[in-house]
Amino acid sequence: MENQVFVMDHPLIQHKLTFLRDKNTGSKEFRELVGEIAMLMCYEATRDLPLQEVHIETPMGEATTKVIAGRKLAFVPILRAGLGMVEGVLEMVPAAKVGHIGLYRDHKTLQPVEYYNKLPQDITERDVIVLDPMLATGGSAIDAISIVKRSNPKSIKFMCIIAAPEGVKALSEAHPDVQIYCAAVDDHLNEIGYIVPGLGDAGDRIFGTL
Ligand code: PRP
Ligand code: URA
């Protein structure tokens, strides 16, 4: 399958993204916005879930209607910042399981370092959406997806809020089968691997560790 990038330009997402980027937005509001944007993005990212027909009775009579066709989802946030997206996506898909992959970027080398990995046992039966608000060099997403792929899930998507063109290119080349969902593709990475204009350090802004 060809790699595809979906930029979600829905007005509600773009509106919230403006406040997320603003340096005057404090941690409480930042966390809420990350959750809300993740919820809205999840709505779009699950648009292709297959449906099946069921027969039910309404108070007025019989009806043939649709339910999601037995597909199971798992969300896999990349720690730490990906955690900020979990509550929002679970609002949309409460039955999903949540795995965790712990990675941080070494600030000198910009290379991701793995420190935690716990995925649902039945992951082979699940479609996985990997979550991280930021796709910068792409190193963290590439490694996290490689780790998830070793467990053989049914499919993998990657959902971030802001992507850099460099990260989109690197991730597309490393994992051409993984669709990328984001709210914006920004201008460029600066010399220390931060997205410009971006929003700064997502993990620090979510958890107030600036
Ligand atoms: C940030 C971000 C991504 C990564 C993106 O995490 O949340 O995981 O950097 O950069 P990359 O595309 O160049 O790999 P960070 O390493 O700051 O860790 P944190 O989530 O614990 O703050
Ligand atoms: N990680 C972040 O949190 N922000 C960036 O701009 C790049 C990587």
Q: What is the pLDDT of residues 141-185, one digit of tens each?
A: 999 999 999 999 999 999 999 999 999 999 999 999 999 999 999
Identity of the residue numbered 98: V
Q: Which band of pLDDT confidence, cut at 50, 70 and 90, is reported for residue 60?
A: very high
Nearest atom in ligand 2 to the alpha carbon of residue 204 is 3
Torsion from C-alpha of 137, 138, 139, 145, nearest 10 degrees:
180
Q: Determine the Cα–Cα distance for residues 98 and 95; give it in Å rounded to an integer.
A: 10
Quote the percentage of the chain above a pLDDT of 70. Answer: 99
User: Distance, CA 64 to ligand 1 centroid (Å)?
Assistant: 46
Instruction: Kindly list the protein residues whose Cβ atom lies closer than 6 A to any atom of ligand 2.
Output: 81, 134, 136, 193-195, 198, 201-203
